[in-house]
Amino acid sequence: MEHEAKFPKTLQEAIKFFADADTCVTFMAQLRWPEGVTCPHCQGKAVSYLSTRRTWKCMNKACHKQFSVKVGTIMEDSAIGLDKWLAAIWLIANAKNGVSSYEIHRALGVTQKSGWFLLHRIRLAMQTGTFEKMSGTVEADETFIGGLSKNMHKHAREAKITGPGGCGKAIVFGLLERHGDGSKVRTKIIFNRSSETLQGEVRCHVEPGSNVYTDAHRSYLGLSADYVHEFTDHAEEYVRGNVHSNGIENFWSLLKRSIKGTYVSVEPFHLFRYLDEQAFRFNERKGKDADRFIQTVKQVAGKRKRAK
């Protein structure tokens, strides 16, 4: 890549590097179209660059549309400059415990509302959905996300807490595939902890014959028909040789730390976005800051989200 020798390694360097609008456009174009700029409307290769507007014009007679590097991405129709978009991506991709919209507001000089807009669209780019199933040794577990009842106002507590345990909280199911070079995790919001739901998620995402380790929850009983299923009863032990779910529980700890420490309160209908964000950083944790940043930028195309 052009400019590779002086590519930024820190946030401060990234802000300086992307302060030039032409550098931003060149960087985005090289990542999005490594084989040459292609019209996002007709996929034509014959394009002309309009330097005064930093856009391209398709020379296909049936198209003749103008487009920028933002078209067809999470950035489309946004008046926010590429310099601020790229700086925000660097921030969220590399902040271990997440970054709030108020931090984006203070760091980049945008409004808090714009910071919120940036973060939610960048989280969309962090989605790394795949149809490839996990295999080998996989840990499965679920957790509850929601405020502590003791911290709620009396009226809120009476409205939300109508039963024991995780009543009134969101349930998140997670799978962690063990790797010598770094485990990978997937998460999903589920609506109950029934055997049909939990075993259905395992069978959907894990190759038959794999080792599946869980806790002693009764809903996992029955997996032995398709998997080498072993579990630990946390009333007696947490680890038995290689049989444990400590990896996925460590991920839950990181997730809850970011929610409680940075975001404080997360609305249930936005929770999946925060799961995408934390899963991306966890799965890419072995890379350098620049690697996570570039990986996120590569994923901005094809995920356009219109503001409501």
Provide the token pair at 211: 């080792």
CB 198 within 8 A of CB 218: no
Beta-bridged to residue 176, according to DSSP, are 139, 185
> What CA–CA distance (Å, rounded) separates 28 from 60?
23
SS3 at position 176: strand
E strand spans, 146-295 = 170-177, 184-190, 211-215, 228-232
What is the pLDDT, as a whole number, of residue 29?
A: 95
Give the pLDDT confidence score for residue 269 in this predicted structure: 85
Alpha carbon 32 to its chain's center: 19
Please return the burial class of 206, using the count of CB atoms within 10 Å of its CB with bins 0-12, 13-18 and 19+: buried
Domains in the chain, ordered, with CATH?
Answer: 4-128+288-298 (no CATH), 137-266 (3.30.420)
**SS3 of 19, please?**
coil
CB 239 within 8 A of CB 247: no
pLDDT for the residue 166: 58
What is the residue-level pLDDT of the chain in tens, covering all 308 positions?
444 547 899 989 999 999 999 999 999 999 999 999 999 999 999 999 999 999 999 999 999 999 999 999 999 989 999 999 999 999 999 998 889 999 999 999 999 999 999 999 999 999 887 778 999 999 999 999 975 544 445 555 445 544 455 567 899 999 999 987 789 999 999 999 999 999 999 999 999 999 999 999 999 999 999 999 999 999 999 999 999 999 999 999 999 999 888 887 788 888 999 999 999 999 999 999 999 999 999 999 887 655 44
Instruction: Find, among 90, 156, 76, 116, the residue nearest to 297 by Cα.
Output: 90
Phi-psi region of 264 (alpha: psi -120 to 50; beta: other; left: phi over 0): left
**Contact indicator for 30, 2 with CB cutoff of 8 Å:** yes
The gap from C-alpha 150 to its chain's centroid, in whole angstroms, comes to: 30
Separation between Cα atoms, residue 92 and residue 292, nearest integer Å: 10
